[in-house]
A and B are shown apart, each in its own frame.
Chain A
Amino acid sequence: MIKKLFSFNVLLFLFVSGCSLGAANTDEYKVVFNNRPSQQGDEEQHLTEYTVAIIPKVINIPYFNAVEEGAIEAGRELGVKVIYKGPTVADSKQQIKIIDELIENEEIDVIAVSANDPEKLIPVLKKAQNHQIKVITWDADTLQEGRDFFINMVNPETLGRHLMDTLAWNVGEQGEFAIMTGANSASNLNEWLKWIQQHQKEYYPNMKLVTIAATDDNPNKAYLIAQKLIKDHPQLKGIIGNSSVGPPAAAQAVKEAGKAGKIAVVGLSPPNPMNEYLKDGSAQIITLWSPKKLGYLTVALSKNMATGVHPYDNQEIPGVGKIRMLDDVVTMGEPIDFTKDNVDQYDF
């Protein structure tokens, strides 16, 4: 009888321990369903530093200095090494040389160019592409084949027509006017010129374009040209500066000629160099976008290109805001007008 009880107990014990053994060996938590492992904690930041070369049309003018500031700022914030190098004069040959040197001497992921000439730069940009360097353009475009996309500041039609409007407001929609553009070969300037003239023909028949003078973005040359314009065209009512060098030179010349208020000066220029002229009436309205923002955006999009992200319509770029994308052209935003009332708000 005792033996029998014993053997029964042994059986019972084996059964019970068999049950509890299963429970004791498992963890406190039993995974029922696993969709995918949690990414939290596993994230490793890509610490690869990309190098982006930003090539402006020319250096040492306020506009491109402001771009540089934005680009450097973006480089710091986004962790990108930014090389900002450009020719001292707006010349495609010098640009080509600089790009060539960069391709040969530096490890570069992306080159972003504001092209002085849409065609002449193509070979060197292709060479860059052959070196596995992504090429984009900003400010001034090249032919499509030379780059992946173009970062435009504003819609050229909008800008061109708006520039014409700002002059028309200040001259009573009549009289002679001249345009000071940058390099004759710069595609963006030519695009704007086209729309300025188009707009004038459509809406301001009483106005007459007397001449289009190229300054090659050289402040000295621009100043001389402005003086010459004032002298050559006594009936001149207004000057449109189609590149950022134009308006300050024109304003200075107008001021010196004692014709402040009589010859309206409008155009594209950063507000800082125009601050005084706007306030003393030598210039009326200056239009531009934020070159800092442009520099920032160029670096941001360059970095995205390096990581393989193409820009898309309505994309939110931190520090810049939303961008538009149509075909292969990115548009940064709308133009800003600077007058004597708001010019103090801006610092570039």
Chain B
Amino acid sequence: MIFRHVRLRNYKLMTKLMITYLLLTVIPISVLGYVAYSQYTNSVEEQVGEYIPKLLEQANGNIDHHLDEMKRLPDSLYNSPQVIEILRKDSYQSKSNLLRDEFLVNSFLSRTYINGGNSDILGVFLLSKNRLYKSTKVTYSGLGLESSFLPYGQDLDLEGKEEVLLPYETNLKFKGNPPFILLMKQLRDFENQENLGTMLIAVELTFFEKALSNLKEEGQSSIWMTDSAGRIFFHTDPEFIGKFDDKYSEYPRINGSFRTTGLADNDLISTADFQGNDWKIFHSIPLSDLTQEADAVRNGTIIVFILVVLLSIGISILLAWNVSNPLNKLAKLMKQVEKGNFNVDLLIDSRDEVGTLAKSFNSMMQEINQLIKKNYQIELRQKDAELYALQSQINPHFMYNTLETIGYAVEEEETEVVVKMVTLLGRMLRYSLNNKDRVVPISFEVLHTNNYLTIQKFRFEDRIHFEIYEEIDTNRYYTPKFILQPIIENAIKYGLEEYQTCVIQIFIRKTANNELMIKVKDNGPGIDETVLSKLNGLLGKDPMAGRNSGFGLRNVHARIAMIFGDPYGLEIKSKIHEGTEVIIKIPMLTGEQAANISGGVESA
């Protein structure tokens, strides 16, 4: 079983689903159909099997009753003393006397039996002391004084009882060959306690048919009667009359019903004994006749069953396809993704689990795609920004200016200034060279800015004033490198172009939102409102778009945004002729978090 189970597990999902659907529909329907059909046919069989024997017994009763009436027929003879007297005489008489007797008895027989009430009587024969009296309705053959058919001569002692002879037991035949039974009764002279003779009454079997008429309604049923040896003496199909029922000895000896089992078309046979004698009556009806309705229902059921099976196959294919097709698609797309194509879309609109899966897959792929893009671009920008930062530090222009300033100072023998400037420059260069960390404590950046501004102050002397206000512990919090210098460079450049002095104020503080804010305020010419909005708009754009104005600011903004996300970055506020404020917003980044950021970025 485990073996099979394992095998089954390896089938395709669609196959498994189809098999499951089919089993779930086909098996219950077929079992239900079979049980219902067999139950129904069984109950029909039982009902009919119970009902027909009762009818048979009723018919038997009717026939018995009729036979009893027949058996009483000879009694009418006793009402005629004349006939009795003739019968009591012996046959040794003159011819004329014999013929007169014959005339008298024959006419009595005709009067009483043939022309009497009972229309079933074919003929009456009276055998007495070698005399034969008769009266028949139609001509007959096979019975005469000389014929030896009678197994019972007039000397036979029936002990006053009557016998019923079946047609095949005699040679007697009537014109038209009607089926009949021969009632034989010994005529007894009760007074003398002697035999008068034997009376034979041939009775047509129409009364059988009458008695059985209510049984014959059913279509192909047949009814027959047999004697104790199984010889058929009455059959609804006259062909069988006189033949033997070859199955007779095999039939169960019951009063009831049984059915054949071995045949292609089985019959339900009911049987009943006769009370009066050893005959049996049989009634046979094909089971298919009984179960006609059930068979129609069965055939209908089979058709419906096939339709349902086909339908369920269709539905199961559809369902299985519905489940397995998206999965197949998914598998194909996965393979594409495996190969590196992230631009895939699983086009499934349904809202079911498969649709949800498809949606999840799509959104996952989008997410992955975006993450890849983002990391990739961050990395690019980072490198770019760092490159720029590197460039700005060793800005040859700045170097030249500084060195020139140092040169003047040497000429004027201001050694102290020279020493200080060289020291500052050295520090700046070291800060720049220390390129390992992306974020540094704010104090480092502040120091670097301070160095830079101090060097510029040496160069421009009183034209530059700067103030740095630190409202937080700058050693504790971190910031990306080189974010202040490009801003300050801008402030100096534009401030000194227009005005005599340039005042730069730097505020480092914590905002209400628990963010770190670095504000660089100058007293420069300010920026035109249109330019300002354009500048603010440009901040979000690709920092690599070109090295035009505002490039430094964009670079800074981009780096901050890349590291901390969109809400962070630069904001420029300015009023023309009044000055500009550049506000840098970054999160309050402690040393621990700073380490994560550096690592995270680097690993991406």
Contact = CB atoms under 8 A, between A and B. Distances in A.
Interface of A: 4, 7, 23, 26-41, 69-70, 73, 77, 289-290, 292-293, 296, 318-321, 333, 336, 342, 345-348
A35 B250 contact: no
Interface stretch (B103-111, B253-261, B524-532): B253-261
A207 to B, nearest CB: 29
Contacts of B161: 318
Nearest to A332: B190
Contacts of B259: 29-30, 32
A121 to B, nearest CB: 28
Given A32-B45, A77-B159, A342-B85, A38 B193 contact: no
Which secondary structure dominates chain A's binding surface?
A: mixed
Contact of B255 (A35, A73, A296, A346): A35
Interface string B235-278: 00000000000000011111111111110000011111100001
6 contacts: A7-B4, A35-B256, A40-B280, A289-B191, A346-B191, A346-B192
A28 B262 contact: yes
Contact of B193 (A23, A27, A37, A69): A69
Contacts of A28: 250, 260-262
Given A293-B190, A293-B191, A29 B250 contact: yes
A320 B54 CA distance: 35
A328 B201 CA distance: 37
Contacts of A296: 193
B193 A73 contact: yes
B178 interface: no
B188 A40 contact: no
Nearest to B263: A28
Contacts of A336: 191
Nearest to A66: B193
A319 B88 contact: no
Given A292-B191, A319-B193, A345-B85, A32 B261 contact: no
B2 to A, nearest CB: 13
A312 B228 CA distance: 32
B273 A39 contact: yes
A348 to B, nearest CB: 7
Given A23-B261, A40-B280, A32 B191 contact: no
Contact of A33 (B49, B88, B253, B260): B49
Instruction: Select the residue from B89, B190, B273 with max chain A CB neighbours within 10 A.
Output: B190
Nearest to B277: A40
Contacts of A7: 4
Given A32-B256, A34-B257, A37-B255, 18 more contacts: A23-B261, A28-B250, A28-B261, A30-B261, A31-B257, A32-B259, A33-B49, A33-B270, A34-B255, A37-B254, A38-B253, A38-B254, A38-B280, A290-B190, A292-B193, A336-B191, A342-B85, A345-B84
Interface string B50-88: 100110010000000000000000010010000011001
B258 A32 contact: yes
A38 B251 CA distance: 11
B46 A32 contact: yes
B7 interface: yes
B503 to A, nearest CB: 91
B193 A70 contact: yes
Interface string B153-179: 000010111000000000000000000
Which secondary structure dominates chain B's binding surface?
A: mixed
A31 B258 contact: yes
B261 A26 contact: yes
A38 B255 contact: yes
A39 B269 CA distance: 18
A317 B55 CA distance: 31
B497 interface: no
Nearest to A70: B193
B253 A41 contact: yes
Contact of A32 (B75, B255, B268, B278): B268
Nearest to A341: B85
Given A33-B46, A40-B273, A40-B278, A321 B190 contact: yes
B194 interface: yes
Given A4-B7, A39-B273, A318-B160, A32 B193 contact: no
B255 A319 contact: no
A35 B254 contact: yes
B414 to A, nearest CB: 100
Instruction: Select the residue from A38, A70, A73 with max chain B CB neighbours within 10 A.
Output: A38
B260 A29 contact: yes
A8 B257 CA distance: 41
Given A27-B261, A28-B260, A345-B85, A34 B254 contact: yes
A40 B257 CA distance: 16
Nearest to A288: B191
Nearest to B279: A40
Contacts of B257: 31-34
A77 B158 CA distance: 9
A292 B192 contact: yes
A346 to B, nearest CB: 6
Contacts of B54: 35
A11 to B, nearest CB: 11
A319 B190 contact: yes
Nearest to A290: B191
A310 to B, nearest CB: 21
A35 B54 CA distance: 9
Contacts of B250: 28-29
A242 to B, nearest CB: 21
Contact of A347 (B7, B89, B190, B194): B194
A157 B97 CA distance: 40
A293 B192 CA distance: 7
B190 A320 contact: yes
A319 B161 CA distance: 8
Nearest to B68: A316
The 6 closest A-B pairs by CB, nearest first: A32-B49, A290-B191, A319-B160, A33-B49, A292-B193, A34-B256
A321 B261 CA distance: 50
A40 B228 contact: yes
A83 B53 CA distance: 47
Contacts of B261: 23, 26-30
A319 B159 CA distance: 7
A4 B19 CA distance: 15
Contacts of A39: 273
A346 B159 CA distance: 20
B193 A290 contact: yes
